[in-house]
Amino acid sequence: MENATGTFMFVLMGINETATNKHIYFAFVLTAYLFTVFVNTTLIITIVLEKALHEPMYFFVCNLCINAIWGANSFYPRFLFDLSSQVNLISYYECLIQICFIFYYVFCEYTSLAVMAYDRFVAVCRPLQYHSLMTPRRVMYLLLFTWGFTLTEVTIGAVLTGRLPMCGTHLHKIYCSNWPMVRLSCVDFTGNNIYSYVLIIIHVSEALLIIVSYVHIIRTSLQSKSGWAKFMQTCLPHLITLINFNVALLLDVFDARYGLYQKSQAIRNFMAIEFLIVPPLINPLIYGISLKKIRTRIMKFYKHQIKPIS
C-alpha cells in the first residue's frame, strides 16, 4: 500500500449503514445543521448587541456558541456531501483537516467549560472580588488562552498523525477520526499513543478543576436561599452543559478505543456523532431558556419584529 499522499483515499465505512435511507438522513441532518447554526447565531447576536449582557459570563457563553458553530461546520457540510454522494471516499489531506477541525472544537469546548467554571466559582464564592478579578483584560486573556492552548494541542496532534504513512484505507466511521486513522499506519505509533494519554491527563485535570469549583460553589450556595437561587439560574445551565458534553464525548472515546466491530454500525454511528450534534444543538437552548437576561432580550427582539405586522 502506498504512503499517505494527496491521492491517497479513505473509505468511510460508517456511511454504508445509511445507504438505503440517505434521503431521510439528509433531510434530518440538514435541518439539524441549520437549526444549530440559527440558535447559536441568535445567542451570539443577542449578547453582542445587548449592552446589559456585556459581562464575563455572557462573553464566555458567546465563546461557547462560536465554538459550537465551528464544530457544526467541521462535521455537517462534509457529512451532507457524503449523504448526497454515491462514493464514500475522502482524501488523506481532507481527512487530516477534518480531524484538526473536530479536535479543535472538542479541546476548545472542554477548556471553555473549565474557564466558565472558574468564572462561576469567583462569582458565587468571591462575589465582592468578582469585578476586580474578572476584569475585561482578564476575560480577554482567558479567551486568548483558551484559543491558543487549543491550537497548540491540535497542532502537535496534527504533526504526529501527519508523519504516519498509511497502510489501510477503511475507516469504520462516518467522518474522519484520529485514532481509527492512526491505527491504519504502517509504522509504530507509540508517540501518538503517548500524546493521547498526555491529552487525557490535561483534560482530566481540567475536569478535576471543574469538580473542585462546583464543590465549593454548591457548598456556598447552600448557605442561603438567595445563593441557591443564583446557583440555579447561572450555574445549573453550565453544569448541565458540562455533563451533556462529557457523556457524549465519552461515548465516542469508548467506541474509538475499545469498541467492538461486531456491534451494530448504527449504534457505533450514534456513539460517534452524539458529541458533534447534541451539545451544539441544545447548549444555546439551555442558556437561552435558563438565563433570564438572555431570554428577556430575545423575547423583546421577536416581539419588536412581530408587532409591525399585526
Q: Taking residues 288-300, what's their average pLDDT?
A: 71
Instruction: Give counts: helices (H), strands (E), the chain.
Output: 11, 3
Q: Is residue 2 part of a domain?
A: no
Whole-structure pTM value: 0.86
Rounded to an integer, what distance in angstroms lies between the CA atom of residue 286 and that of residue 282? 6
pLDDT of residue 4: 44
Tell me, what's the pLDDT at 7? 63
pLDDT tens per residue across span 228-286 = 777 776 677 777 777 777 777 777 776 666 655 456 666 777 777 778 888 888 888 77
Distances (CA, A) of 209 to 62, 114, 129, 133, 243: 22, 7, 20, 18, 14
List of E strands, 40-114: 89-91
The stretch 111-123 carries a mean pLDDT of 89
Q: Is the pLDDT of residue 128 over 70?
A: yes
CATH assignment at residue 141: 1.20.1070.10
Summary mean pLDDT of the chain: 82
> Does 26 fall in a domain?
yes
Tens-digit pLDDT profile for residues 26-71: 898 999 999 999 999 988 988 888 888 888 988 999 999 999 999 9
Largest alpha-carbon pair distance within the chain? 68
Q: What is the 3-state secondary structure (H, E, C) of 99-128?
A: HHHHHHHHHHHHHHHHHHHHHHHHHHHCHH
Q: What is the mean pLDDT of residues 112-125?
A: 89
In a domain, 263, yes or no: yes
Domain assignment present for 259: yes
If pLDDT is split at 50, 70 and 90, which confidence band does 155 have? Answer: very high
H/E stretch holding 302: helix 292-306
Domain count, the chain: 1
Whether residue 121 contacts residue 209, with contact meaning beta carbons closer than 8 Å, is answered with no
Other Cβ atoms within 10 Å of 151 Cβ, number: 14
Residue 41 within a domain: yes
Residue 209, domain member (yes or no): yes
pLDDT digits (tens, 9 = 90+) for 137-152: 999 999 999 999 999 9
pLDDT beyond 70 at 17: no
3-state secondary structure of 29: helix
Domain holding 173, by residue range, is 9-309
pLDDT band at 2 (very low <50, low <70, confident <90, very high): very low
Contact 173, 12 (CB under 8 A): yes
Instruction: Please tell me the predicted confidence (pLDDT) of residue 14.
Output: 73
Question: What is the pLDDT at residue 180?
Answer: 83
Question: Tell me: the pLDDT tens digits for 83-93?
Answer: 888 778 888 88
Task: Determine, yes or no, domain membership for 179.
Answer: yes
302 pLDDT band, cuts 50/70/90, is low
